[in-house]
Amino acid sequence: MMKRRQFVQSVGAAGSLSAIGMMSGCASTGSSSSGLKVVVVGGGYGGATAAKYVRMWSDYGIDVTLIEPNSTFISCPISNLVIGGTKTMADITTPYDNLLKRHGVRLVQDMVTRIDPDKRVVMLAKGGELPYDRLIVSPGVDFMWENLPGMAKEGAKDKVLHSWKAGAQTVALRKQLEAMPDGGVYALTIPMAPYRCPPGPYERACQVASYFSKAKPKSKVLILDANDDVTSKGPLFKKAWAERYKGMVEYRGKHKLADVDAATNTLKFEFSEDVKAAVLNVIPDMRAGDIAVKTGMATANKRWCEIDFLTFESKVVKNVHVLGDSIQIAPAMPKSGHMANQHGKTCAAAVVALLTGKQPNPLPIYNNTCYSFVSDEDVVHVASVHRYDVEKMTMLPVPGAGGVSSAANELEGRYAMAWARNIWADTLA
């Protein structure tokens, strides 16, 4: 359903005070826009949700432009099943066009090269600039390759994959596993927390083991984790490795990767012996997306962006909001697609309130739900509820709420796919 004109043209000076006054009248007649402009950088779970909800909750009165370099949305959640071979890229790909057709979000396929917070404009890689009244930045993560000098060598990044951003590398890793002779070792390295999707690496180990047990039963999965122990759903994953994939999966904690020699397929560790394997899958250290770092917003350890949890506005750059995996998370808050979708709505409500002279919600409350496939069908979850704590000025988990599955089960396998369909629609349709 398209409520207003699909392309909202520039109306008067961006952010003029009179525009705010125009808003309610125009929204009720549906004949014009307020002239207010929101630009969203990054069309993942956080940014796409924010774009849609700013349109919806401004009654289609605020002009929203979404800037995203990819032509379609490819989901990280469920992408481990493509690596395991039971889902295809088509299964995890959703077009962006409903954001335009149903919600009138202007889509720009491009990258933002620079943000000018004084002039309130963003510069685009293909040229030109876009003005904003408020900017929402949701660029996900980028990798700290500087911690792995060997990966700078020519061809290293094409051979040793991370597959931690769903897309071409998801397909490429699947091909490496298919090409690997039976009896080979697949070695997966996990960075020190915090990183995107805490249970994701352990789910991936299960998916690769599931594939090996069907197609290459003499092969092994070796997990080399920089953390002391499994960081999420530990007992459930360990049970899967011990029982479903007996003798196939080996877990080693306290293995902090120091470097990679791609030419010889060798992993080098700070305190342990080198490891050679047929297929290396290195998940590097990560930080906020480049554009957030470049704009000076990554103030926590120079890695993550500190924000006000009521509005997601950056603590250092005014009128710029950051959400999703790029933020310095609150206690017990995971970096997840579900959480980014929740950030998107909280931020959207606050941006609409701020642009129309209202108070943002003083007490946000939202949840996280995360499913992991330990086989083709059986799934375990972790869930939590987070609410704003006025004294500590952050989101805290609600005591007594949330938890994990008692055991992996097929019913939650069906719910996991229903979750995916629903969150994709909530984010993009």
Least distance from other proteins to the Cβ atom of residue 422, Å: 5
Q: Please pick, from the candidates 8, 139, 364, 408, the single residue that binds other proteins as defined by CB under 8 A.
A: 364
DSSP 86: S
Q: Return the axis-axis angle of helices 337-355 and 410-428, rounded to nearest 10°.
A: 30
The number of residues that bind other proteins (CB under 8 A) is 42
By the rule CB under 8 A, 332 interacts with other proteins: no
Length of the chain (residues): 429
Shortest Å, Cβ 17 to other proteins: 23
- By CB under 8 A, residue 422 contacts other proteins: yes
55 lines the binding site for other proteins (CB under 8 A): no
Element (H, E) at 322: strand 320-322
Cα-based distances in Å from 406 to 109, 409, 412 = 44, 9, 11
| DSSP symbol at 180 | S
Region binding other proteins by CB under 8 A among candidate stretches 171-179, 224-232, 324-332, 395-403: 395-403
Q: Which of 193, 263, 332, 398 binds other proteins (CB under 8 A)?
A: 398
Give the range of 35-43, 297-305, 307-315, 419-427 binding other proteins by CB under 8 A: 419-427
User: Starting at the edge strand that comes first in sequence, how are the strands of the sheet with 106-108 ordered?
Assistant: 106-108, 63-67, 37-41, 134-137, 320-322
407 touches other proteins (CB under 8 A): no
Regarding 94 and contact with other proteins (CB under 8 A), the answer is no
Residue 403 sits in the site that holds other proteins (CB under 8 A): yes
Using CB under 8 A as the binding rule, whether residue 349 contacts other proteins is answered as yes
The distance of closest approach from Cβ of residue 337 to other proteins in the complex, given in angstroms and rounded to an integer, is 9
| SS3 at position 369 | strand
The stretch near other proteins (CB under 8 A) out of 146-154, 246-254, 298-306, 378-386 is 378-386
Based on the shown chain and the rule CB under 8 A, indicate whether residue 255 belongs to the binding site for other proteins: no
Q: Does 96 bind other proteins (CB under 8 A)?
A: no
- Is 363 near other proteins (CB under 8 A)? yes
What is the distance between the alpha carbons of residues 91 and 74, in angstroms, rounded to a whole number?
Answer: 9
Give the whole-angstrom CA distance, residue 352 versus residue 330.
Answer: 23
Dihedrals phi, psi of 209, to nearest 5 degrees:
-65, -35
Q: Give whichever of 53 and 143 is closer to other proteins, judged by the CB atom.
A: 53
First-to-final CA distance of the chain: 10
| Sign, Cα dihedral of 349, 351, 356, 357 | positive
Q: Kindly tell me which of 144 and 329 has the beta carbon lying closer to other proteins.
A: 329
**Peptide bond between residue 399 and the one before it cis (omega within 30 degrees of 0):** no
Residue 97 Cβ vs other proteins, minimum distance, rounded to whole Å: 16
Q: Are strands 63-67 and 106-108 parallel, antiparallel or unpaired?
A: parallel
Using CA atoms in the order 251, 205, 412, 243, what is the torsion angle rounded to 10 degrees?
-50
394 binds other proteins (CB under 8 A): no
Q: Contact between 233 and other proteins (CB under 8 A)?
A: no
Burial 65-103 (b: 16+ CB within 10 A, else e): bbbbeeeebbbbbbbbbbbbbbbebeebbbebeebbebb
Query: Of these, 76, 345, 395, 408, which contacts other proteins (CB under 8 A)?
Result: 345
70 binds other proteins (CB under 8 A): no
Q: Is 86 in the site for other proteins (CB under 8 A)?
A: no
Q: Report residue 193 as tokens.
A: 């927390």
Q: Pick the binder of other proteins from 60, 195, 366, 388 (CB under 8 A).
A: 366
Nearer of residues 263 and 401 to other proteins, judged by Cβ: 401
Helix (H, G, I), strand (E, B) or coil at 125: coil
Query: Which residue of 100, 353, 354, 396 would you call a contact of other proteins, by CB under 8 A?
Result: 353
Residue 289 CB, shortest distance to other proteins, in Å, is 22
- CA-CA-CA-CA torsion sign (253, 254, 259, 264): negative
Tell me how far, at minimum, the Cβ of 85 lies from other proteins, in Å: 22
Residue ranges binding other proteins (CB under 8 A)? 53, 56-57, 338, 341-342, 345-346, 349, 353, 361, 363-367, 369, 381, 383-385, 387, 398, 400-403, 405, 409, 411-412, 414-415, 417-419, 421-423, 425-426, 429
